[in-house]
Amino acid sequence: MPHANAEPADDALMTAYAAGDARAFEQLYARHHAGLYRFIRRLLGSALNAQTDEVFQDTWLRVVQARAQWQPQGASFRTWLFTLAHHRVVDQLRRSGREVSVDAFEGDDGAPWEPAVGVSAAWRHWPAPAPAATHTEELAFWRRAGEKLLGCLEQLPIPQRSAFLLHHDDGLGLDEVAGALGVGFETAKTRLRYAMSKLRTCMGAYLAPLASGGESR
């Protein structure tokens, strides 16, 4: 995540905080609290939404406790932060009795990933993606799409879900995603492709009625 030149980098802030500068931590928190909270909430899913606050707090407290051991070399602070959160979400899911597969980067049938045939056709009927939709109809469309996407996300295995969220929502590069998840670059890439393929299938079917000009649902 790029910062203005005048602002210190995350690593410098964390180093300053490790030396006792509380304001450095406040800056870090201001930068990352919203994205991290969203990541945890979406990764936990609607069934465990109530645990979001606890995991979020645990993650930041872990940052506080590990400040002395943190080293700026290696992964960036942001990657490290999301790694901590991911580990805590997985722990929470396991405690809640959910089965969390750590190697679910292949298809459910074990077949290697291939682009979904025919799905892309449905996407042609979607409005052009815009960061902030201006027209009311488009805004409504994207809100429904977002709502549906959250539902589709919950159908993904945790490894694919976390790869997609880190990459598409939090803006991490593939190498950073791999680092945050503790997997190789190709594994992260495969997980991401599976996630996108499944999400496109899920979303394309849902939004298909829009292509005929009618209201979707």
Partner 1 sequence: MTPSDHDDDERDAWLSAALHHAPDAQAAPPPALSDTILRQARGAARATKAATPARPRGAWATVWDWLARPPVAAGFASLMVATVVGLIWWERPIDETLAPPNASSPAARVVPATASAAPPKAARRDADAPRPAPASSGRRRLAVTPEPLPTAPAAPTPFTDRGTPAQAAPAGTERNAAAEARNDTGATASGAPARGAAKAVPFAVPQAAADQLRREDSTEARPAALAALLDSVAAQPQRWSWQRGESRRPMNPALQGWLRQLDGATHGRWRDAGDVAPASPADVVQLYRDGTPVATLQLSDDAAWLASGSQASLPRSATRTLKQALDDATR
Q: Is 169 in the site for partner 1 (CB under 8 A)?
A: yes
Q: Which of 8, 11, 12, 38 binds partner 1 (CB under 8 A)?
A: 38
- Window of 56-64, 86-94, 96-104, 108-116 that interacts with partner 1 by CB under 8 A: 56-64
C-alpha span between 86 and 90 (Å, rounded): 6
Q: Is the Cα torsion angle 27, 28, 29, 34 positive or negative in sign?
A: positive
Q: Which is nearer to partner 1, 28 or 158 (CB)?
A: 28
Which runs of consecutive H residues, i.e. helices, occur in the chain? Answer: 10-18, 22-44, 52-65, 77-95, 119-123, 136-153, 158-164, 174-181, 185-211
Q: Which is nearer to partner 1, 74 or 99 (CB)?
A: 74
Picking from 98, 205, 116, the residue whose alpha carbon sits closest to that of residue 158 is 98
Q: Is 131 in the site for partner 1 (CB under 8 A)?
A: yes
Please answer whether residues 207 and 126 qualify as being in contact, where contact means their C-beta atoms are separated by less than 8 angstroms: yes
Q: Which of 102, 116, 121, 150 binds partner 1 (CB under 8 A)?
A: 150
C-alpha span between 32 and 39 (Å, rounded): 11
Interface with partner 1 (CB under 8 A): 17-22, 25-26, 29, 33-34, 37-38, 41-42, 53, 56-57, 60-61, 63-65, 67-68, 123, 126, 129-131, 133, 139, 142-143, 145-150, 164, 167-169, 173-175, 185, 189, 192-193, 196, 199-200, 203
